């Protein structure tokens, strides 16, 4: 074994046999994380498993998404999460302690560990040499219960970094460069492993920015080696004993190698409405901007906020720009407060928000109608910012600072000499992380009125005759299927209520039609279900009666979520068949269970009098889970 990825996988494989790329594998999970938008459902699912205490080395529940408390819903969920964590042996990071990925990188991630998180940006921890994978909440609940995580063995792609970044160019520009090259589905079925002499020029927070946005490539994970930079970072966190060296033995056995010369990368920007719509900032020079926000799990580290503070020190944000800062963790917030950088940001005109996901998930700071909003975030899907007709752009902290000063797209290299980020002692304080009691059996779980039971689960039917409820195009995101935002996110623990919003930004009549037709099929194009790990994009359609989703290809996490909830994921054997189906057509499937087992399903289009084949591309265990009606039904049936 040569790569860091393979070394970690071999140590965590349940099977004795070394897998080939594409084989279904089972791996042991050392650590799990949840966040509140996905966590309430994950813990309801864990409760349904009937296991008295988590079995992982470490499990954490973070509150960082649903922070706006405009009524009782979010506050009730916070108390549920706190009490359920205490009962089942989970650490609880309180509201205000920070964004899960930033805090986990700081305080818990470790080289060589496996981490499974109910958030697609869990691979952030790959910046420290952890094999970190995003998944649906049910997969995380199962891992907390001691079950292995099922996935297809990924291809290990080496990304060789050479050279050193120019002044005012940063890690965000590196990952945007890769997105320009590979596009949003370029990493599907792959782990991107970084190596080469350029790696040592990047700090752990910079590496974490790159691994964080590997999710936008559709990658299973992204990972850096654990080296002296890693040791130094862990030392600043008082965790040097967690360090161990991890590096690839050779580059000769990577399935593919991509080379990037860091010295040639220029400031980049992702244009609306996809993270791969990348051009150079200089190509947009002078275009007007209305809002600038620095933060998110991608770019809210001490390093990121300091470069912005230093760029703005003694200056004022342009009067035409609304400028906001979100520190990624309380550690970062308190550190910049103590060293004076926070005062510099406030003096420059920044609005300081709490340490949370906030605007990145549509929780506040929606721009005005028709606005151009520039963000250091990881996604710019249409409407995700909270304003449907706004144009959202993704940039580095350096570029954000330059734009904030000028109110137009500005190449940050025009700001002059790059300021040196001062070395300072980080404020390490874990008092807002609550350790669970050794015995939580007597803890009473607090359940607010917004927490509803899980939907009824049934084994897959052998015959289905239903209408096509909706036909979509390529690159449909989970934001399309199950929107985020301040109005909808508080309903994450209430499936009947949140199901009223399935696909409403695509077709406002979809929920009503699905109920009137007593469910049916969804047809999609390439890369269906990309983006967030939110399993609600499977559970809510299930509640509305969706039986199967038939597409040209799936994004990894969403496909797994469909299986976990007993919705049949099918792919056209011949992509041309997609063009011969229309919304409203009635499709008939017979002998579906046998077709799932064999991997091929025959479908009749009753409306058009035609037939075509679909593929059910799953491993044997995943097929058994699907046939049982999903993972909860499977777990109950197998004891």
- Which of 352, 385, 415 is the last residue before a domain boundary? 415
- Token pair, residue 37, equals 């938008």
Q: What positions carry a catalytic annotation?
A: 64-65, 119, 379, 532, 534
- Neighbouring-strand partners of residue 157: 192, 256
DSSP 223: E
**Strand 58-62 to 31-35 pairing:** parallel
Look up the CATH number of the domain holding residue 366.
3.30.499.10
Cα–Cα distance for residue pair 608/585, rounded to 1 Å: 8
On whether residue 209 sits in a domain, the answer given is yes
Look up the CATH number of the domain holding residue 592.
3.20.19.10
Do 259 and 274 share a structural domain?
no
Do 124 and 194 share a structural domain?
yes
Do 296 and 230 share a structural domain?
no
Do 170 and 23 share a structural domain?
yes
On whether residue 173 sits in a domain, the answer given is yes
Largest CA distance in the chain: 72
On whether residue 333 sits in a domain, the answer given is yes
**Strand 149-152 to 24-27 pairing:** antiparallel
Report the mean per-residue pLDDT for the chain: 95
Q: Match 């040097």 to its residue by tokens.
A: 240
**What would the mean pLDDT of 427-440 be, rounded to a whole number?**
96
On whether residue 458 sits in a domain, the answer given is no
- Identify whether 273 is preceded by a cis peptide bond (ω within 30 of 0): yes
pLDDT tens, position by position, 296-321: 999 999 999 999 999 999 999 999 99
- The CA-based dihedral angle spanning residues 178, 214, 192, 616, taken in that order and rounded to the nearest 10 degrees: -110
Cα–Cα distance for residue pair 433/38, rounded to 1 Å: 19
Range of the domain at 500: 464-638
Confidence class for position 48, pLDDT limits 50, 70, 90: confident
Q: In the predicted model, is pLDDT for residue 17 greater than 90? A: no
pLDDT tens, position by position, 59-97: 999 999 988 888 899 999 999 999 999 999 999 999 999
Do 329 and 229 share a structural domain?
no
If one counts every other C-beta atom within 10 angstroms of the C-beta of residue 195, the result is 21
Q: In the predicted model, is pLDDT for residue 53 greater than 60? A: yes
- Which of 415, 432, 450 is the last residue before a domain boundary? 415
Do 521 and 571 share a structural domain?
yes
On whether residue 427 sits in a domain, the answer given is no
H helix or E strand, kind and range, residue 623: helix 620-628
Do 500 and 597 share a structural domain?
yes
- Which pLDDT score, from 0 to 100, does residue 639 have? 63
Q: Sheet of 155-162: strands edge to edge? A: 221-223, 190-195, 155-162, 256-261
Do 273 and 227 share a structural domain?
no
Higher-confidence residue: 363 or 434? 434
Confidence class for position 434, pLDDT limits 50, 70, 90: very high
- Which pLDDT score, from 0 to 100, does residue 21 have? 84
Q: Let me know: does 581 contact 467? Beta carbons within 8 Å.
A: no
- Which pLDDT score, from 0 to 100, does residue 492 have? 87
Q: How is 379-445 classified by DSSP, letter by letter?
A: ---TTTTS-TT-EEEE--HHHHHHHHHHSB---GGGG-SPPPPPP-------TTEEPPPS--TTPPP
On whether residue 449 sits in a domain, the answer given is no
Cα–Cα distance for residue pair 375/397, rounded to 1 Å: 8
pLDDT tens, position by position, 145-204: 999 999 999 999 999 999 999 999 999 999 999 999 999 999 999 999 999 999 999 999
If one counts every other C-beta atom within 10 angstroms of the C-beta of residue 166, the result is 16
Cα–Cα distance for residue pair 605/588, rounded to 1 Å: 6
* 374 alpha-carbon distance from chain centroid: 20
On whether residue 445 sits in a domain, the answer given is no
DSSP 240: G
Could you list the beta-strand ranges (E) of 264-417: 268-270, 278-280, 291-294, 322-325, 351-352, 372-375, 391-394
Cα–Cα distance for residue pair 102/331, rounded to 1 Å: 10
pLDDT tens, position by position, 249-293: 988 879 899 999 999 999 999 999 999 999 999 999 999 999 999
Do 334 and 232 share a structural domain?
no
- Which pLDDT score, from 0 to 100, does residue 486 have? 83
Q: Let me know: does 414 contact 322? Beta carbons within 8 Å.
A: no
Q: Let me know: does 169 contact 266? Beta carbons within 8 Å.
A: yes
If one counts every other C-beta atom within 10 angstroms of the C-beta of residue 249, the result is 12
* 207 alpha-carbon distance from chain centroid: 16
- The CA-based dihedral angle spanning residues 464, 467, 469, 470, taken in that order and rounded to the nearest 10 degrees: 100
First to last CA, the chain: 35
Do 170 and 200 share a structural domain?
yes
On whether residue 136 sits in a domain, the answer given is yes
- Token pair, residue 322, equals 């609304």
- Which pLDDT score, from 0 to 100, does residue 111 have? 98
- Phi first, then psi, for residue 176 (nearest 5°) are -65, -35
Cα–Cα distance for residue pair 255/383, rounded to 1 Å: 37
Torsion sign (Cα): 111, 113, 116, 117: negative
**What would the mean pLDDT of 5-27 be, rounded to a whole number?**
90
Higher-confidence residue: 492 or 301? 301
- The CA-based dihedral angle spanning residues 589, 592, 596, 600, taken in that order and rounded to the nearest 10 degrees: -40
> pTM value?
0.93
Cα–Cα distances in angstroms (integers) from residue 483 to residues 534, 536, 540, in the given order: 10, 10, 11
pLDDT tens, position by position, 516-538: 999 999 999 999 999 888 899 99
Number of structural domains the chain divides into: 3
**What would the mean pLDDT of 450-461 be, rounded to a whole number?**
88
Cα–Cα distance for residue pair 402/119, rounded to 1 Å: 31
Q: Which residues of 307-326 are buried (b: 16+ CB within 10 A; e: fewer)?
A: bbbbbbeeeebbeebbbbbb
Do 289 and 216 share a structural domain?
no
Do 251 and 388 share a structural domain?
no
H helix or E strand, kind and range, residue 299: none
- Which pLDDT score, from 0 to 100, does residue 1 have? 56
């Amino acid at each position: 074994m040569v790569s860091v990825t393979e070394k970690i996988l071999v140590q965590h494989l349940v099977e004795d046999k070394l897998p080939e790329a594409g084989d279904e594998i089972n791996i042991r999970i050392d650590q799990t994380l949840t966040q509140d938008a996905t966590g309430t459902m994950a813990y309801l699912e864990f409760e349904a498993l009937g296991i008295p205490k988590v079995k992982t080395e470490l499990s954490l529940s973070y509150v960082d998404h649903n922070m706006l408390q405009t009524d009782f819903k979010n506050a009730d969920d916070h108390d549920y999460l706190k009490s359920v964590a205490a009962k089942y042996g989970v650490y609880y990071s309180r509201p205000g302690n920070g964004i899960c990925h930033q805090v986990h990188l700081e305080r818990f991630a470790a080289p060589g560990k496996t981490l499974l998180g109910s958030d697609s940006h869990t691979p952030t921890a790959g910046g420290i040499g952890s094999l970190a994978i995003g998944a649906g909440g049910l997969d995380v609940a199962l891992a907390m219960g001691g079950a292995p995580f099922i996935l297809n063995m990924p291809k290990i792609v080496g990304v060789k970094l050479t050279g050193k970044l120019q002044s005012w160019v940063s890690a965000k520009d590196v990952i945007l460069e890769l997105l320009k090259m590979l596009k949003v589905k370029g990493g599907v079925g792959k782990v991107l492993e970084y190596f080469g002499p350029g790696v040592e020029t990047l700090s752990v927070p910079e590496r974490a920015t790159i691994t964080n946005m590997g999710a936008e490539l559709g990658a299973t994970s992204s990972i850096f080696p654990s080296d002296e930079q890693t040791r130094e970072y862990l030392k600043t966190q008082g965790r040097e004993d967690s360090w161990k060296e991890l590096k690839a033995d050779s580059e000769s056995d990577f399935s593919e190698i991509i080379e990037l010369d860091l010295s040639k990368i220029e400031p980049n920007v992702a244009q609306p409405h996809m993270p791969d719509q990348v051009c150079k900032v200089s190509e947009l020079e002078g275009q007007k901007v209305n809002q600038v926000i620095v933060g998110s799990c991608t770019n809210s580290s001490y390093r990121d906020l300091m470069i912005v503070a230093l760029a703005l020190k003694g200056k004022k944000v342009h009067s035409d720009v609304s400028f906001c800062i979100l520190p990624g963790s309380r550690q970062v917030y308190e550190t910049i407060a103590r060293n004076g950088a926070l005062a510099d940001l406030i003096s420059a005109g920044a609005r300081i928000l709490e340490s949370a996901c906030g605007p990145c998930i549509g929780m506040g700071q929606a721009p005005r109608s028709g606005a151009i909003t520039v963000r250091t975030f990881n996604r710019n899907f249409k409407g995700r910012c909270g304003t449907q007709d706004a144009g959202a752009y993704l940039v580095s902290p350096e570029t954000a600072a330059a734009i904030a000063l000028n109110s137009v797209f500005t190449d940050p290299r025009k700001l002059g000499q790059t300021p040196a980020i001062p070395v300072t002692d980080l404020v390490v304080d874990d008092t807002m992380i609550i350790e669970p009691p050794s015995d939580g059996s007597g803890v009473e779980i607090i359940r607010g009125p917004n927490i509803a039971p899980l939907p009824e689960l049934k084994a897959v039917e052998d015959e289905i005759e239903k209408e096509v409820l909706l036909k979509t195009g390529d690159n449909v995101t989970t934001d399309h299927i199950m929107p985020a935002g301040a109005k909808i996110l508080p309903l994450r623990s209430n499936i009947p209520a949140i199901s009223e919003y399935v696909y409403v930004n695509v077709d406002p009549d979809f929920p009503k039609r699905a109920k009137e037709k007593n469910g049916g099929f969804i047809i999609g194009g390439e890369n269906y279900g990309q983006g967030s790990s939110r399993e609600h994009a499977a559970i809510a359609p299930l509640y509305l009666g969706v039986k199967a989703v038939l597409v040209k290809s799936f994004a990894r996490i969403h496909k797994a979520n469909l299986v976990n909830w007993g919705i049949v994921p099918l792919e056209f054997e011949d992509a041309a068949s997609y063009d011969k189906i229309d919304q409203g057509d009635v499709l008939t499937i017979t002998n579906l269970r046998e077709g799932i087992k064999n991997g091929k399903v025959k479908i009749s289009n009753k409306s058009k009098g035609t037939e075509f084949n679909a593929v059910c591309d799953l491993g044997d265990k995943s097929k058994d889970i699907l046939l049982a009606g999903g993972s909860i039904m499977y777990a109950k049936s197998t004891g």
